[in-house]
Amino acid sequence: MRVGSSAEVVELVTTPLGEGFRGRGGMALPTRVSTVFASVGAVAIGVYFMLGFDGKALWYVVIGLGSVGAIFVGARRLERGRTAWYLFGFGLLFSVAADAVSGYYEVFRDREPPVPSSADVLYLTTYPVLIAGIVLLLRELGVHRSRVAVLDSVIVTVAVGIVQWVFFVEPYAHSSLRTVTRIVGISYPTMDLLLLVALSQLLLGVGSRTVAYQLLIVAVVLWVVGDEIFGLSVDNYAAGGWVDMFWLGSYVFWGAAALDSSAAHEAPRDRRAVPRLTIRRLALLAGALLTPPVVLVIEHEWPQHNIHPVSIAIGGVLLALLVVVRFAGLVRAVEGARAAERAANNRLRELDRLKDEFVATISHELRTPLTSISGYVELVRERADAESSGYLDVVERNAARLLVLVNDLLLVARIQSGQLDIDLGGTVEVGSLVSESVASAQPHAAGANVALRLRSGTGPVRVRGDRRRLAQVLDNLISNAIKFSPNGGAVDLSLERHDGTVVLEIADQGIGIADNERGRLFDRFFRASSALDRQIPGTGLGLYISRAIVEAHGGRIEARSVEGEGSVFVVELSIDR
């Protein structure tokens, strides 16, 4: 099942990338080859358990050779990182040779090979070669070399070391066997320890996201599990027993990994300087920290080994210290980041202050020439004929427009830095304020052939606030409504009192605002696409400023609209009691 499902993923990923696994000699591997190989392998393992004793010994070697062959075939087509896979091939070849030696003893001598034998030499050669292959692969994948990554590896090594020591090494170390036998016996769990550490790196790295490496991880896990079960029950082991399933499975997965097309792809490299504290990494560290107590409990419940509490205690203390160092580093990194953030904030505040100063200066520098322009235009106008006077109107209008823009920009800068100067001490009668604004906008409305109508049903209503600023909001909303109205349209203002608040609505029959733009209508420099399409002039500052002023008064401003039918702007202010 496992292989089948991953192969489907592979097909999805690799079909458009046929180039990626085309061999050097033009040899192309079909996408499903690794699935086929794994299926055949599974059947072969099934057959193994049905064979007689002699057949098993032979078949074991056949399966092993098949995997070695698959690895070499798979490695040949790789563009890069081939050495690692060749090392796997040679490593497993040593193992298969050792299997053959064991088989020879079992079939022809009718006994297990002695310890040590040439089989042990071959088996023990397998491990360093496989580990070297994994290390090479990790380098290819861009393994982390930071202090933190090394620390994590050391923590995992210590934890696995405790397990290996208590369950596998210690019994040998203190047994009465011959020294050579003891050394060989200790060598296997030690090699497994190294293999497990290499495996943990593979698991944590980005390689675990690629199908080929996932298969490889399964192969290594099966290998180590087989070793560990064998190590725990070495006296009960008989060739052809169920434990063989793990090693045979490891062979098959290793071959399938090499054949999988994803091995040929550039694995996603992790370019972070320090690895992220992922859930997986955290789980591994937590598991490592819990190793000593778990080992103690297991030995307490099922006492089999002559454990040494001191050695577990030493391991536990070492682990605890390492984890403390690891997390102290993390905490210090976070603190460092906070300090950097504070410094950055201070720098930003300073920049903000400089910006305000800059805006104030620029505004001053712009107003000074505008003063000259409008002053001298005014002077010339007194002596100008009708035609020149018309031209001077244009100059004056544009100077006025420029002045409005300068004022608006200055206001925006002040709003941004929270320095909008609003005098909330005054009392403003809204009815008269609105009538004044309507009256002063009448010429503009008449010029645009737009009817400007006010309906007030409130009588005098007072609010606390800045009359000049509130008038600015009204002027802005009314001039917008006129600007967006069609020729012959109407702008209707209504003033109403709702409990505790006074609500002003300004409705036009203009082009309206699209639904998806209404949320950004009050943003700085935002202009509705309907306005841009029709080339209606504007800076996108008016509504932003209006909202800031209304909100500074504790009020609310919003827009309702049906595109193409018009918009309604609503301003709501609290009545002063």
Q: Which positions touch another protein (CB under 8 A)? A: 360, 363-368, 370-376, 378-379, 399, 403, 407, 410, 414, 421, 423
Q: Give me the least distance between CB of 548 and another protein, in Å please.
A: 15
8 A C-beta contact, residue 202 and residue 216: yes
Q: How far apart are CA 45 and CA 43, in angstroms?
A: 5
Write a three-state SS string for 52-76: CHHHHHHHHHHHHHHHHHHHHHHHH
Using DSSP, state whether 427 is helix, strand or coil: strand
Angle between helix axes 118-140 and 211-232 (nearest 10 degrees) is: 150
Select 402 or 570, whichever has its Cβ closest to another protein: 402
Q: Name beta bridge partners: 453.
A: 492
- Residue closer to another protein, measured from CB, 19 or 382: 382
C-alpha–C-alpha distance, residues 207 and 140, integer Å = 10
Of 239 and 410, nearer to another protein (C-beta) is 410
Q: Which amino acid is at 389?
A: S
Residue-wise burial string across 181-200, b where 16 or more C-beta atoms lie within 10 A, e elsewhere: ebebbbbbbbbbbbbbbbbb
Size of the chain in residues: 577
Q: Min. distance of Cβ 425 from another protein in angstroms?
A: 12
Smallest distance, Å, CB 369 to another protein? 8
CA pair distance 130, 84, nearest whole angstrom = 9
Separation CA 208–CA 499 (nearest Å): 65
- Report how far apart, in Å, the C-alpha atoms of 526 and of each of 472, 521, 522 are: 19, 6, 7
Single out the residue of 454, 363, 446 nearest to residue 410, CA to CA.
363
CB of 364 to another protein, least distance (A): 4
Nearer to another protein, 282 or 400 (CB): 400
Q: Least Å distance between CB 558 and another protein?
A: 28
CB of 547 to another protein, least distance (A): 20
- Give the rounded distance of the alpha carbon of 227 from its chain centre: 38
Q: Give 425 or 457: the residue with its C-beta nearer to another protein.
A: 425
Is the N-terminal amide bond of 171 cis, ω within 30° of 0? no
Residue among 27 and 360 whose Cβ is closer to another protein: 360
The residue ranges of DSSP E strands in 19-132, in sequence order, are none
β strands within 62-207, DSSP E: none
Residues forming a β-bridge with 507: 492, 568
Closest approach of Cβ 401 to another protein, in Å? 13
Based on CB atoms, which residue is closest to another protein, 77 or 414? 414
Query: Could you tell me which residues are beta bridge partners of residue 495?
Result: 456, 504
DSSP strands (E only) in 17-133: none
In contact, 374 and 396? CB cutoff 8 Å: yes
DSSP 8-state assignment for residue 509 = -
Helical axes 244-259 vs 82-104, angle rounded to 10°: 150
Instruction: State in angstroms the smallest separation of the CB of 399 from another protein.
Output: 8
378 vs 393, which CB is nearer to another protein? 378
- Residue 266 vs 423, nearer CB to another protein: 423
In terms of CB distance, is 367 or 518 closer to another protein?
367
User: Minimum CB separation from another protein for residue 277, in Å?
Assistant: 50
Q: Are 373 and 361 in contact (CB under 8 A)?
A: no
Nearer to another protein, 306 or 372 (CB): 372
